[in-house]
Structure 1
């Protein structure tokens, strides 16, 4: 069985750039979920208590699926579109999932 990978953390942007970045991330997330079968979840959200922060949560079927994500046309387009935005901090980690259980 292939281990899932979860990417989590945050990215901080200049206050004037955060909402622009979120707009691009919404489109990137839509394309990623629609076009990449190895993407199990992809969510970037504004932190309600910090005007600079975007919270990151991604869930991938495997490390290979995550690696392939970075080679897609929509990632290349996204990177070009946001190249002028100012990121002022970042803390992202990739976690290999050993086991999962339902919490109902």
Structure 2
């Protein structure tokens, strides 16, 4: 069994661009979850304390699933739609998960 990958962090956009980018990311997430069985979770949220920040959380079944994600038609559509938006900062990390346990 391959190890899961979690992508987490944040992206900052010009204040006027954040909500537009968030809308694009929500649509990308919907298509990703529907069309890519290797995507286990995909959530992009507006940070309530920073008008520029989008929080990122993605969970993938494997590194291969994440790599394949970047070759999909919906990623190409997303990149075209987001091309005019201004990102002013980013901090994203990919974490390889060797073990998972419930926290009930």
Smaller-chain TM-score range? over 0.9
Aligned length: 104
Q: Where does the alignment leave 5 or more consecutive residues of structure 1 unmatched?
A: none
What is the match of residue 81 of structure 2? 81
TM-score (norm 1): 0.99
User: Using the alignment, how far apart are the partners of 2:24 and 2:85 within structure 1?
Assistant: 11
Partner residue in 1 for 2:46: 46
Over residues 15-74 of structure 1, what are the superposed CA-to-partner deviations in whole Å (9 max), with x where a residue is unaligned?
A: 000000001011000000000000000000000000000000000000000000000000
Q: What's the Cα RMSD here?
A: 0.3
Tell me the TM-score normalised to structure 2 length.
Answer: 0.99
2:62 paired residue number: 62
Which consecutive segments of 4 or more residues in structure 1 shift more than 4 A? none
Structure 2 residues without counterparts, runs of 5 or longer? none
Matched position secondary structure for 1:78 = helix
